[in-house]
Amino acid sequence: MNRHCKRLIVLLSTAIMITLAPAAAGAKEEKPSKAAPNSQTELAPSARSAILMDQGSGTIIYEKNSHDRLPPASITKIMTMLLIMEALDEGVIKMTDKVPTSEYAASMGGSQIFLEPGEEMSVEEMLKGIALASGNDASVAMAEKIAGTEAAFVELMNKRAAELGLKNTHFANCNGLPAENHYTSAHDIAVMSMELLKHAEITKYTGLYQDYLRKTTEKPFWLVNTNKLVRFYTGADGLKTGFTSEAKFCLTATARRDGLRVIAVVMGEPNTKTRNAEVSQMLDYTFAQYMNHSIFKKGDLMGTVKVEKGNVREVELTAKHSYSVLLKKGSTVKDIRHELQLAPLKAPVKVNEPIGKLIVYQGDEVLAEFAVDAPVSVNKAGWWTLFKRSCGSLFS
């Protein structure tokens, strides 16, 4: 009986290896696709650096010096907000948690919500202060809440940047105030923004034009979004502005129309008027020329994967966010197909561990590749469970 069981396991394993191509090792980030065909129109002539990207697939529509290392000013806070949203997802913090303000956090200059030492606000209020008012003080208070110190939080920022495969990013603080060895690129900011937008609820805050803090006190604080596009550009709902004398005027913006969400990043613009005009032009160009084709919507069942020696035999893969590809308007969609390539899994498996990829083709051309992660953790089954499985007929 044992010899027959072992032979059956070998045959099944071989069949799985033949039908499922192994996934590329390690890379967790969704790599941007090659640039979509476009004219040589200069969409951001005044920007030092710029990029235009489809949020659904990572397809680059337009870029200009997009990998140049530049000071980012307050668009640094894209990574700060990403770590906040991930901490919320992981249960490290809750929106209702109170966040105390240290002397250090209250001492931040530049854009701020004027926190007093010892003052407490909820995580949600701090997030509003960061998203709308670009609060440097609120950013440090949240960094200390999550990691204990700003320095420890910055380590998390750089670690996350490495996980996303960002080659031209290094953070020295969590708010973007001028600092040595603090830089990023338009491309890297676009990738961070794409990751942040997977947390769809973030636009509840970045898309607000105005709100109040300290509403129940005698001195309510009026918040007005530093990103004016959320009021004046149809479909805009984020993400973050930035300015220092060194960085000049920066913006990572996003807008959504007809199911197509776009990210536009400019760095080193001469003034706010030019910055907003060129970003609007980038967005206009995309919505006029391109359309979105959905592969999976958030929550859709993508497939199942077997887990060798797991306490469960297989797990369902559901889409954690939407998956789509960018097409020129008027393109045919009849020959678009997708393929889920998964490596055979062996317990234990950790949640969010890379397990394969989703590849989208048009004919024989690869349109996009998406990393696929384990949706849950799977522990190793005990010896008795494995014994019963291998000789199941004896216990049926």
Helix, strand, or coil (residue 150): helix
74 catalytic residue (yes or no): yes
The dihedrals phi and psi of 367, each to the nearest 5 degrees, come to -90, -40
- Bridge-partner residues for 138, per DSSP? none
Please state, in angstroms and as integers, the Cα–Cα distance from residue 290 to each residue in 97, 194, 257, following that order: 42, 18, 11
The one catalytic residue in 33, 49, 66, 74 is 74
Both tokens of 125, joined, read 């209020």
Angle at 272 between CA 251 and CA 37, to 5 degrees: 50
Does the annotation mark 77 as catalytic? yes
The residue behind tokens 């206009």 is 284
49, 57, 64, 77: which one is catalytic? 77
With vertex at residue 128, the alpha carbon angle to CA 127 and CA 134, rounded to the nearest 5 degrees, is 90
Residue 237: how many other CB atoms lie within 10 Å: 21
Q: Is 259 helix (H, G, I), strand (E, B) or coil?
A: coil
List, as one string, the DSSP characters of 300-336.
-EEEEEEEETBSSSEEEEE-SS-EEEEEETT---TTE
Residue from 66, 134, 185, 322 carrying the catalytic annotation: 134
Distance CA 304, CA 369 (A): 19
- Per the structure block, which two tokens stand in for 55? 């949020």
Backbone conformation region of residue 331, classed left if phi is above 0, alpha if psi is from -120 to 50, else beta: beta
The H or E element spanning position 161 is helix 150-163
Residue 139 CA to residue 12 CA, distance in Å, equals: 52
| H helix or E strand, kind and range, residue 15 | helix 2-19
Active site residues: 74, 77, 134
